[in-house]
Amino acid sequence: MCAQSKAATQSNSETSASKQTAKPTQAAAKPVPETLLKDKKEAAQKQASRLSRVGLLRKKARVSRAQAYTRAEKYTREYRARESALKSFRQQARTAGNFYLEPEAKLAFVIRLKGINGLHPKPRKILQLLRLRQINNGVFVRLTAATKKMLTLVEPYVTYGYPTLETVRKLVYKRGHAKVNGNRIPLADNSIVAQSLGKYNIICMEDLVHEIYTVGPHFREASRFLWTFKLGAPTGGFKKLRNHFVEGGDAGNRENEINKLVTRMA
């Protein structure tokens, strides 16, 4: 009898234990709310669309980088060919005992030197048209008969000259800011250039440098896209702002010497 009672007790304990272990299984089998399933599905769709969008952006960036690299190589060959042709012409003239007349400059970089105290309304208006509203501001200007006359009228208040390719590139890369929707934005990415000037086939920084340096057909749009360059005071300071450059001062046309001044101010 004792053995039967022990066996019955063990069977009862096993039955109760099996019931206890069966409870969590029944709880885990509860149905998931439909709203939760819907949220998970929407999150998965958003994640998939985001990944596809990121993939497209990366592919587009790779293509634009390849285009920028190709164009930079083309411009480098163009600059080298032009410099080689100039050297050849100079050598031919020297061999013949003549002087080679350098091609007339088409591009100038203008820097404002003085403020508005005692400034006549006409030069003030010209400085506004040139977008030179502050001291040490600089802009690229296409040299035409009209702009040459304007620069002559404001010579006591500005200095200008003919920038080299190295100077143009240094200004655009180091001090360049874009004007986008009235905001001053650093030129940190080719996409900024492509978004604003892509319709003019200017999609990267080298395109912008080339358009400015060669004074291309869309020079106006490219120069207006660039915010006025804000330069610092030159290392070592100015000599004498009141005098013309040819008189030992700083104002007026300094031709190729503008590149040294930009190096000191940039």
* CATH number of the domain residue 164 falls in: 3.30.1390.20
pLDDT at residue 47 above 60? yes
Residue 228 banded pLDDT, cuts 50, 70, 90? very high
In a domain, 134, yes or no: yes
Dihedral angle sign, alpha carbons of residues 86, 101, 246, 121: negative
139: pLDDT strictly greater than 60: yes
Evaluate whether residue 239 is within a structural domain: yes
What pLDDT shows up at residue 162? 96
| Average confidence (pLDDT) over 101-120 | 90
Tell me the two tokens of residue 107.
């591009």
H/E element holding 223? helix 219-225
Whether residue 177 is contained in a domain is answered as yes
- Is 67 inside a domain boundary? no
pTM above 0.85, yes or no: no
| Main-chain phi, psi angles of 107, to 5 degrees | -130, 140
Q: In the chain, how many domains are there?
A: 1
pLDDT band at 22 (very low <50, low <70, confident <90, very high): very low
Residue 155, domain extent: 107-265
Is residue 32 in some structural domain?
no
Chain Cα centroid distance, residue 161: 24
Domain annotation covers residue 146: yes
Coil vs helix vs strand at 249? coil
CA-based end-to-end distance of the chain:
107
Q: Could you give the CA distance from residue 11 to residue 14 in angstroms, rounded to a whole number?
A: 5
**158: in domain:** yes
Closest CA to 102 of 57, 52, 164, 44: 164
In this prediction, residue 116 has a pLDDT band, given cuts at 50, 70 and 90, of: confident
**Is the residue at 251 inside a domain?**
yes
Greater confidence (22 vs 34) lies with 34
Strands 252-253 and 158-161 come out as parallel
pLDDT of residue 28: 53
